[in-house]
């Protein structure tokens, strides 16, 4: 029997990741889709009057096998793919979209859901059941259940095409990232710190190449731009990095992006919305494009003012080195690093030996223990790659779930960092505990040496751990509202909030120890590190907000025939500083084009940051960053609730009110630049 479709009988219900064969996926999907279709048709054709049990709960169970197969396949497609998986992903994307459309546009099925929604007052539902019913009904409506005639078929065709294009977009970006390397001669390494030289050697070894190479992994590109004294090589690497998806040929994403935008605009019109942004934002906390724009522009002005002032200082440092040219994007990180050494006596090469990967994992676990009583015990589990590792998570001795960490960059993994799961928490059919996975792309140290992180890397680790806690601490009945199944502009709250504890002095004092001597980080270095927390925030905020505004503009009107021209027009209107580029240019903007997840929603990181600044203030106000009362409220009102209540209601239950933007501007250290 196919291992993917049967119940997993390994300890903790783990999937048989070590024993899977690529050829098992296609028949597993066939079986899962066939079973799901039969189950859904049986619900729709049920002669009994609709009830919550025979309709909503039945749908929660209808695709269980398919969900299991999808969880394994799509985790591998992101974290450890190959040509066979990528080919199958291209084939499956339109099939899965067609299956979804057939379900959402099943008139008899929607009639049952609609009847329950109209009569919900008399159903005596629990609050969670009421929320699940509301979300199911909304999902059907937003997927076209009320469309008639040709519009139904056209929407299904649009969605199927979008699924194909999104897969192509993502695979094109990964292909460009995988194929590019820049070999370095021994003299090119002279200005680089030992940790980076080692990482460049490991990157070459991973690809079967001699010597040292720069790749398009952020964990290599960013430190290379910071430390390399070779301006010509910095420019070459930077131009390749920002050109992903725009190199011509089969992997060029510019036409793909244009077609995606056109189809999204058509989708919105079919569903009765003026623009795709209006459609996408309706169920989110922001509700409207105008609300998003107000937030972004409130932050843009002080961030741009700070960045322009910083650019003047960086240009002075560049001229002091004898470079009589305009400050360019491939210069910014180098001279920002020099400025940080001058103004804060802080050098990343000095800090990095204190940030060992294993120690930072332990720090993240320690914080989870102190805040929420969680304990992490390493377990011997067969996983998808030898670099991945797993822990059993318990609370007061009770099994909570399994956490998997997959931390190193490799050619078979897409770039970035994310949290996913192999199984969500639910109590619908017994107590199903979650299996969460964090995936990162840190540069791996050579064998026998500890992997060292930048402070930004360590922050990423804490960020993804915050998402994992949202998965692991979920305590709901229905899978539909489990864990991170929340509004897009709320989902980043737990992750961004968790980042704050990395900077807690007691956390760094306990876990930041030198890789060679074992000595704790000196108090004065710790003080300098904390004092510099908002260093270069003008740059960081500008590159992010520019991307968010471009995303919003691309989706807020008629679809542009030329997305690159539209991107340029937005940046020109904003007055984008010449020495800074968008964090994610359109041709490699996976967040918004490799699926619908963050489309017209890249702003959500900042929307959530408004809340995370205010939420962390709740701890600071007590004088104890681990205050047990506030931590218990966070766990009870946010982390355990998933999407079982409206996001605004969850936040108000925790904090008593919704926050304003002032806390965010203060947190980023931009208050002095407000007009």
Q: How far is it, in rounded angstroms, from Cα 305 to Cα 672?
A: 10
* pLDDT at residue 76 tops 90: yes
Annotated catalytic residue: which of 24, 63, 464, 609? 464
* pLDDT at residue 6 tops 90: no
Please provide the size of the chain in residues: 675
* pLDDT at residue 594 tops 70: yes
Q: What's the confidence (pLDDT) of residue 666?
A: 86
* pLDDT at residue 39 tops 90: yes
Buried b (16+ CB within 10 A) or exposed e, 574-583: bebbebbbbb
Mean pLDDT of 588-608: 95
Mean pLDDT of 592-611: 95
* pLDDT at residue 469 tops 60: yes
Q: What's the confidence (pLDDT) of residue 407?
A: 98
Q: How many whole angstroms from its chain centre is CA 113?
A: 32
Element at 398 (helix H, strand E) = strand 398-408
Q: Are 269 and 211 in contact (CB under 8 A)?
A: no
Q: What's the confidence (pLDDT) of residue 675?
A: 52
Residue 42 is encoded by which pair of tokens? 């049986």
Residue 342 is encoded by which pair of tokens? 């001058």
Which one, of 201, 202, 221, lies nearest residue 387 by Cα? Answer: 202
Any idea what DSSP says for residue 533? T
Confidence label for 533 from pLDDT (cuts 50, 70 and 90): confident
Q: How far is it, in rounded angstroms, from Cα 566 to Cα 232?
A: 30
Which residues 6+ apart lie within 8 Å of 468 measured at CB?
Answer: 403, 419, 436, 437, 438
Please, what is the average pLDDT of the chain?
Answer: 95
Which one, of 423, 433, 363, lies nearest residue 398 by Cα? Answer: 433
Any idea what DSSP says for residue 520? B
Nearest 10 degrees: CA dihedral of 645, 649, 654, 659?
140
Confidence label for 315 from pLDDT (cuts 50, 70 and 90): very high
Q: Are strands 389-395 and 398-408 parallel, antiparallel or unpaired?
A: antiparallel
Give 420-464 pLDDT, tens digit per residue.
999 999 999 999 999 999 999 999 998 899 999 999 999 999 999
Buried b (16+ CB within 10 A) or exposed e, 396-418: eeeebbbbbbbbbbbebbbbbbb
* pLDDT at residue 212 tops 90: yes
Q: What's the confidence (pLDDT) of residue 341?
A: 92
Mean pLDDT of 631-651: 98
Give 234-251 pLDDT, tens digit per residue.
999 999 999 999 999 999
In this prediction the pTM is 0.94
Is 350 a residue of the active site?
A: no
Q: What's the confidence (pLDDT) of residue 673?
A: 66
Confidence label for 8 from pLDDT (cuts 50, 70 and 90): confident
Which one, of 185, 81, 172, 73, lies nearest residue 410 by Cα? Answer: 81
Mean pLDDT of 519-538: 91
Mean pLDDT of 199-214: 95
* pLDDT at residue 672 tops 80: no
The CB-based long-range contact list for 109-113 (8 Å cut-off, 24+ gap) reads 109/40, 109/43, 109/44, 110/140, 110/145, 110/146, 112/43, 112/44, 112/46, 112/50, 112/55, 113/50, 113/55, 113/56, 113/137, 113/140
């Amino acid at each position: 029997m196919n291992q993917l479709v049967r119940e997993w009988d390994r300890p903790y219900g783990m999937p048989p990741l070590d024993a899977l064969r690529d050829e098992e996926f296609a028949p597993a999907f066939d079986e899962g889709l066939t079973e799901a279709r039969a189950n859904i048709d049986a619900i729709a054709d049920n002669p009994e009057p609709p009830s919550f049990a025979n309709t909503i709960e039945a749908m929660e169970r209808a695709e269980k096998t398919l969900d299991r197969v999808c969880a394994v396949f799509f985790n591998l497609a992101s974290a450890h793919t190959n040509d066979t998986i990528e080919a199958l992903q291209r084939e499956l994307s339109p099939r899965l979209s067609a299956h979804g459309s057939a379900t959402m546009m099943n008139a008899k099925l929607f009639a049952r859901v609609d009847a329950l929604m109209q009569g919900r007052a008399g159903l005596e539902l629990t609050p969670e059941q009421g929320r699940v019913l509301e979300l199911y009904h909304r999902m059907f409506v937003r997927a076209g259940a009320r469309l008639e005639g040709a519009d139904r078929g056209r929407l299904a065709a649009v969605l199927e095409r979008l699924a194909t294009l999104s897969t192509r977009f993502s695979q094109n970006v990964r292909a460009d990232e995988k194929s590019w390397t820049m070999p370095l001669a021994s003299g090119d390494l002279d200005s680089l710190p030992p940790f980076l030289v080692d990482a460049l050697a490991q990157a070459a070894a991973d690809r079967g190449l001699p010597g040292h190479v720069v790749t398009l992994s952020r964990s290599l590109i960013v430190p290379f731009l910071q430390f390399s004294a070779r301006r010509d090589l910095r420019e070459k690497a930077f131009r390749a990095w920002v050109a992903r998806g725009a190199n011509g040929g089969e992997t060029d994403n510019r036409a793909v992006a244009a077609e995606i935008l056109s189809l999204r605009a058509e989708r919105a019109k079919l569903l009765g919305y003026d623009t795709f942004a209006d459609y996408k934002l309706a169920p989110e906390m922001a509700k409207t494009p105008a609300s998003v724009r107000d937030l972004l522009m409130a932050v843009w002005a002080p961030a741009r003012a700070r960045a322009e002032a910083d650019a003047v200082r960086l240009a002075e440092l560049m001229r002091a080195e004898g470079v009589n040219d305009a400050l360019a994007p491939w210069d910014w990180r180098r001279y920002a690093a020099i400025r940080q050494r001058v103004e804060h006596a802080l050098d990343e090469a000095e800090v990095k030996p204190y940030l060992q990967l294993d120690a930072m994992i332990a720090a993240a676990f320690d914080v989870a223990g102190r805040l929420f009583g969680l304990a992490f015990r390493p377990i011997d589990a067969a996983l998808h790659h030898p670099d991945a590792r797993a822990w059993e998570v318990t609370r007061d001795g009770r099994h909570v779930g399994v956490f998997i960490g997959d931390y190193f960059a490799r050619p078979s993994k897409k770039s970035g960092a994310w949290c996913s799961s192999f199984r969500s928490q639910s109590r619908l059919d017994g107590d199903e505990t979650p299996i969460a996975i964090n995936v990162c792309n840190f540069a791996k140290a050579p064998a026998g040496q500890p992997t060292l992180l930048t402070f930004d890397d360590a922050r990423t680790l804490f960020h993804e751990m915050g998402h994992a806690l949202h998965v692991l601490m979920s305590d709901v009945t229905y899978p539909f509202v489990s864990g991170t199944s929340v509004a897009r502009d709320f989902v980043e709250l737990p992750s961004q909030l968790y980042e704050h504890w990395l900077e807690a002095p007691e956390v760094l004092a306990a876990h930041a120890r030198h890789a060679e001597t074992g000595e704790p980080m000196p108090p004065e270095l710790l003080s300098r590190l904390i004092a510099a927390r908002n260093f270069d925030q003008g740059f960081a905020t500008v590159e992010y907000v520019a991307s968010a505004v471009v995303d919003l503009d691309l989706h807020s009107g008629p679809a542009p025939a030329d997305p690159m021209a539209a991107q340029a027009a937005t940046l020109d209107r904003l007055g984008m500083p010449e020495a800074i580029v968008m964090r994610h240019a359109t041709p490699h903007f996976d967040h918004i084009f490799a699926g619908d997840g963050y489309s017209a929603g890249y702003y959500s990181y900042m929307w959530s940051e408004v809340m995370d600044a205010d939420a962390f203030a709740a701890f600071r106000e007590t004088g104890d960053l681990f205050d047990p009362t506030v931590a218990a409220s966070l766990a009870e009102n946010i982390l355990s609730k998933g999407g079982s209540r409206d996001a605004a209601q969850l936040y108000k239950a925790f904090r008593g009110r919704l926050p304003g933007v002032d806390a965010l501007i203060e947190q980023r250290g931009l208050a002095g630049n407000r007009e």
